[in-house]
Structure 1
Amino acid sequence: MIMDSVLIKNANIVNEGKITNGDVYIEKGVFKEIAPQISAKSPDVHIFDAEGKYLIPGVIDDQVHFREPGLTHKATIETESRAAVAGGITSFIEQPNTVPQATTIERLEEKYTIASKTSYANYSFMFGGTNDNLEEILKVNPKNVAGLKLFLGSSTGNMLVDNPEVLEKIFSSTDLLIAVHCEDEQTIRDNTAAYKEKYGDDIPIEFHPKIRSEEACYLSSSRAIELAKKTGARLHVFHLSTAKEMELFTNKIPLEEKKITAEVCIHHLWFSEEDYKEKGTLIKWNPAVKTAEDREALFEALLNDTIDVIATDHAPHTKEEKDNVYTKAPSGGPLVQHALPAMLEFYHQGKISLEKIVEKMCHSPARLFQVEKRGYIKEGYFADAVLVDLNAPWTVNKENVAYKCGWSPFEGTTFKSRITHTFINGSLVYKNFKWYDVKNGKRLTFTR
């Protein structure tokens, strides 16, 4: 539903570390006025009475895999952005390991073209680095591309960047934010070989965190950070999963001054190795879900600002693919629809405040990536906003899962909170399990 002007009344606005009751007026896709009371400017204004619900900025998810082009039997930009807005995610940054991979400017722009026609949410795409595409990397415009993605382990296709000289050259040559997947490939190969010798292909899933071990994560993360310090590169480490890696990061300086930043994903905050028995390969991710102690250390690091942002690493596969034996079951799972409800569940448990959730899911991704005029409810900013009812329980089931793959690791979970309305660039795109045919997403730009 495209709307020129919107007035949201009686909302508890969660923004910049405070909760204030008030009204928000949106005009031509931009927050125009935020005040205790605002009257409708004309009879054409669309008025929404929030009735005391919580209004937060749209969530920015800095790591998703929407599978288009080439893997569209699993997902598409259209289907997954649709699921994302149901979860309050209004902007996403998608990864380059599609088919073909986004490792040339031409391939990257093809993805932007698809999104411009089909995305419900705002979008950006990571450019992919390889051992032999430095020339293409140097062509990337940092003002309209989120960053450079390097797989330092667990890559698909030819995207494993494992030549130390090439890696140093990339780190030294680009001003782009470099986002990395850190797991040491040799450690994983050795561990896999040892377990295959004992079990064949049908390795019990509970050994996944032993194969993709703490050591594999720490070795790779510490090397990447060492290289970033040596070259002065701007490094962002994706999906941390171990307590040990927390010693590699700091909370002693403000986010804007950090050259090395860190992300944690929903599944590493929610699940632990104890859940493999029930969930099996549905919670097989790379890096692996590890111990309850790791999970608690990640949560503590999130709260004390050692970890800077929360993301999903949304990476859907079909149920048939996931039902394979260990060595053939792909890693990854769908999460965008349920990430914010999961974090709000932690709020209900007293583990995190609403203000901190908004900081880590909205404000900090915008600051870290220097996203232009998003991530806040501020006058002059693009009007991405989400209304949340903290007391409207619902249970995840096959009927309300919006992912193309048709399943969720949260099936059977009852969440206390519900996303009731999602506004993107000032227009209502989602309301209470109903989507409007408004593909109002725009290409993200960056103030670099």
Structure 2
Amino acid sequence: MSATLIKNAQVVNEGTITYTDVRIVDQRIERIAVNIEAKPGDQIINADGAYLLPGMIDDQVHFREPGLTHKGTIASESRAAVAGGITSYMEMPNVNPATTTIAALERKFDIAKQSSLANYSFYLGATEDNLEQIKLLDPSKHCGVKVFMGASTGDLLVEDPQALEAIFRDAPVLIVTHCESGAVIKANQEKLLSSKTQFAIDDHPVLRDEHACYASSSYAVGLAKKYNSQLHVLHITSAKELALFEAGPIDNKSITTEACVHHLWFSEKDYAALGNQIKCNPAIKTEHDRNSLLAALKTGQIDIIATDHAPHTWQEKQVPYEQAPAGLPLVQHALLSLFEQVEQGVMTLPQVVEKAAHNPAIRYRIQERGYIREGYYADLVLIDSKAGTLVSNENSLYHCAWSPFAGHRFSAQIKNTWVNGKLVYANQQIIDDPSAAMRLAFAG
């Protein structure tokens, strides 16, 4: 048996911060107590007062494999994720070919088994004619079905009302949605073209405005209520949408939502400096919207924080606005950005852990993860809140080799990351061991 004893940590878990020790044996947390005595063979790590958190569970990433591996791979992006304290992720179906069959879904699990450094699951993508495949999803094995309700291309765009009704009626798993109304976006385009001949980056939040988001997210919530579906609305970006969601604890909610770290950090004022680097769908909007999202995290209207990590090459971003792809790489610095929110007094550390670890585990019914508890898998991250991290494109581990945070110094630093009890990141270096990661299991 391998064993690790973490001494003198500030454990952030279930609403409290407690000085204590944690002993890991093989894959799991064996004991949590003050002054645990080391046993022969224990690897001892003195946390020296650093914060020990359950690893972040990121329910929304795009790792680009198969078919788009010039942007990223499961291997490269999962390594960036563990360097950022993310120990589990759920990955999206808009790859090439799109993940719209159970066979294609299982092929991605096979790739991850060989190459992922973090625990993994994958969504099936909904189309307007793959309902029979959706019905085959197993709630104990599959994290959910992704529905692009507008703002997508090809087979993954689902706009037909009958197809949407059938998905919300018959899906045996959690339905997760990208909500932007194509009709509203088109109307916004026509309105803007009456006064200009082409669009620029500062038009992005105007084209994909709060009305486009609300028209789609309210439609999704209405369908979920009609069919008593389990619905999770991804990456909420506007204050207007918040009225659709109940405040309070996540327990027993059938309709939930999340915010992503870039929508909590950037505002439309950042387009001037960062341009296409922060072009994403849904768009980054106003300071008022950002501040409303941060406030809604405290009330419980927003249940989860995720990344929507979506890498594109630097060259792909260096084109005119309309041709530039939407999305930005985030997993390596997401948790650090949340620590910065804590430093600024916007959030507390227990709130960060609740939204980034506890609540994803509850919503997805992930077995034995998301908490620091005896008997649970040892998915842990040790963070020094004072060491600091200067972000550069050169020290970003993404395959695309750039970060929208380049040039920013975060106040905290990721010191260590454990996945199922194995140390996979330490001393700012990846410890490459894909055997550490596991396929996520769900209570079903």
Q: Please give the range of the TM-score, normalised by the shorter of the 2 chains.
A: over 0.9
Counterparts of 1:99-248 in structure 2, within 5 Å, are 99-196=96-193, 198-201=195-198, 203-248=199-244
Matched, 1:293 2:321: no
Aligned equivalent of 2:25:
27
Tell me what 1:274 maps to. Answer: 269
Contact kept, 8 Å, 1:312 with 1:335, in 2: the verdict is yes
Q: Deviation of residue 432 (structure 1)?
A: 2.6
Deviation sequence 1:300-357 (CA, Å, 0-9, x none): 0011111000000000001111111111101000000010000000111111111111
1:384-399 equivalences in 2 (<5 Å): 384-399=379-394
CA offset at residue 196 of structure 1? 4.9
Displacement after TM superposition at 1:174 (Å): 1.8
Of 268, 284, 302 in structure 2, the residue corresponding to residue 307 of structure 1 is 302
Q: CA deviation at 1:189?
A: 2.0
The one-letter code sitting in structure 2 at the alignment partner of 1:227 is L
- Count of aligned positions: 443
2:368 — aligned with what?
373
Offset at residue 192 of structure 1 (A): 2.6
The alignment's TM-score, normalised by the length of structure 2, stands at 0.98
- Aligned equivalents of 1:66, 1:156: Cα separation in 2: 18
Q: Secondary structure at the match of 2:155?
A: coil
Question: Residues of 2 paired with 1:235 and 1:156: CA distance?
Answer: 22
- Aligned alpha-carbon RMSD (Å): 1.1
5+ unaligned residues in a row in structure 2: which ranges?
none
| 1:158 CA displacement | 1.2
Question: Could you tell me how far 1:197 is from its partner in structure 2?
Answer: 6.0
Following the alignment from structure 2 to structure 1, what is the Cα–Cα distance between the partners of residues 332 and 128? 35
Partner of 1:85: 82
The aligned amino acid for 1:57 is P
Give CA-to-partner distance per residue, 1:34-79, whole Å, 9 cap, x none. 00111122x2211111111110001100000000000000000000
CA distance in structure 2 between the partners assigned to 1:412 and 1:235 by the alignment? 38
- The whole-number CA distance in structure 1 between the counterparts of 2:186 and 2:112 is 36
Cα distance, 1:198–1:317 mapped onto 2, change above 3 Å:
farther
Mapping 1:28-47, distance limit 5 Å? 28-41=26-39, 43-47=40-44
SS at match of 1:257: coil
Q: Which position in structure 1 is the counterpart of 2:60?
A: 63
Partner secondary structure for residue 294 of structure 1: helix
Instruction: Give the C-alpha shift of residue 193 in structure 1.
Output: 3.9
Task: Tell me which amino acid in the other structure corresponds to 1:302.
Answer: L
Letter of the structure 2 residue corresponding to residue 441 of structure 1: A
Per the alignment, in what secondary structure is the counterpart of residue 172 of structure 2? coil
What residue in structure 2 maps to residue 76 of structure 1? 73
Q: 1:319 aligns with which of 314, 326, 341?
A: 314
User: Which of 147-156 and 89-98 deviates more?
Assistant: 147-156
Native 8 Å contact 2:394 2:402 kept in 1:
no
Q: TM-score, normalised by structure 1?
A: 0.97
Of 7, 16, 38 in structure 2, the residue corresponding to residue 18 of structure 1 is 16
What's the % identity of the aligned pairs? 51
The answer to whether the Cα contact below 8 Å between 1:205 and 1:276 also exists between their aligned partners in 2 is yes
In 1, are the aligned partners of 2:8 and 2:46 still within 8 Å (CA)?
yes
Tell me if the contact between 2:138 and 2:172 (Cα under 8 Å) persists in the aligned partners.
Answer: no
* C-alpha spacing 1:211/1:144, structure 2 compared with 1 (3 Å): same
Letter in structure 1 aligned against 2:403? S
Q: Secondary structure at the match of 1:210?
A: helix
Q: Distance in 1 between matches of 2:265 and 2:385?
A: 19
Aligned partners of 1:175 and 1:233 also within 8 Å: no
Contact 1:97–1:156, Cα closer than 8 Å, also in 2: no
Asked if the contact 2:137–2:172 (Cα under 8 Å) also holds between the matched residues in 1, the reply is no
Residue 282 of structure 1 deviates from its aligned partner by 0.5
C-alpha distance in structure 1 between counterparts of 2:66 and 2:367, whole Å: 27
What SS class does the counterpart of residue 211 from structure 2 fall into? helix
